[in-house]
């Protein structure tokens, strides 16, 4: 005599089979991701960098030394340090002696004078405090952008940082 199998048994077996298949797939995906992270192929927690004028920054941010010069040269005197702003597109350089403060703008009295109609007369100020260099926007209409981020207040800047002032982008360097 053949007995009929209730339908709920089929449903329970199908649910158990689906759960087992999901567990196997999840385990395989986790193992694959661990292998990728271990071999440096990818990272699940990786955040993509901000775009900066189609230039990928692959250099480490180097701080200025206590005298305000790059590369940690402590023997260099303060009055010999020069701030260099290099325009990214044309390569034009603007130089100024690095004192306590250097102003950037289109006014004649600014330390670095840039002829650009998008600049304020006194657009921003670079100041040195305790061996570090800080950039401060002077409440301008267009603002000042450091590495793709609009700055508010004093913001530390490092060697090879990209700064958007007005309509042009510049690279900051301190030369002994």
Per residue in 53-83, pLDDT tens? 444 444 445 555 544 444 444 433 455 678 8
Tokens of 97: 């002696």
State residue 132's pLDDT score.
84
pTM, two decimals, is 0.56
- Assess contact for 102 and 94: CB atoms under 8 A: no
Q: Please answer whether residues 104 and 110 qualify as being in contact, where contact means their C-beta atoms are separated by less than 8 angstroms.
A: yes
Which residues have a Cβ under 8 Å from the Cβ of 126 and sit 6 or more positions away?
A: 83, 101, 102, 103, 104, 133, 134, 135, 136, 157
Residue 103 pLDDT > 60: yes
pLDDT at 145 over 50: yes
Q: What are phi and psi of 75, to 5 degrees?
A: -80, -10
State the pLDDT at residue 113.
92
Say what the pLDDT of residue 57 is: 43
Q: Is the pLDDT of residue 20 over 90?
A: yes
pLDDT (mean) for 139-143: 86
Rounded distance between C-alpha atoms, residue 108 and residue 19, angstroms: 74
Q: Is pLDDT above 60 for 164? A: yes
How close are the terminal C-alpha atoms of the chain, in Å? 100
Question: What pLDDT was estimated at residue 122?
Answer: 93
């Amino acid at each position: 005599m053949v007995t009929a199998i209730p339908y709920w048994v089929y449903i329970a077996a199908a649910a158990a089979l689906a759960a087992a298949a999901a567990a196997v797939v999840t385990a395989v995906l986790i193992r694959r991701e661990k292998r990728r992270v271990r071999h440096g192929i990818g990272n699940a927690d990786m955040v993509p960098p901000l775009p900066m004028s189609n230039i990928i920054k692959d250099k480490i941010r180097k701080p200025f030394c206590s005298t305000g010069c790059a590369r940690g040269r402590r023997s260099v005197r303060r009055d010999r340090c020069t701030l260099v702003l290099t325009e990214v597109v044309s390569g034009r350089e603007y130089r100024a002696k690095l004192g306590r403060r250097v102003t950037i703008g289109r006014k004649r009295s600014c330390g670095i004078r840039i002829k650009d109609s998008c600049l304020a007369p006194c657009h921003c100020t670079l100041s040195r405090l305790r061996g570090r260099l800080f950039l401060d926007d002077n409440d301008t209409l267009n603002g000042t952008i450091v590495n793709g981020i609009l700055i508010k207040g004093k913001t530390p800047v490092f060697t090879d940082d990209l700064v958007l002032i007005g309509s042009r982008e510049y690279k900051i360097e301190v030369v002994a």
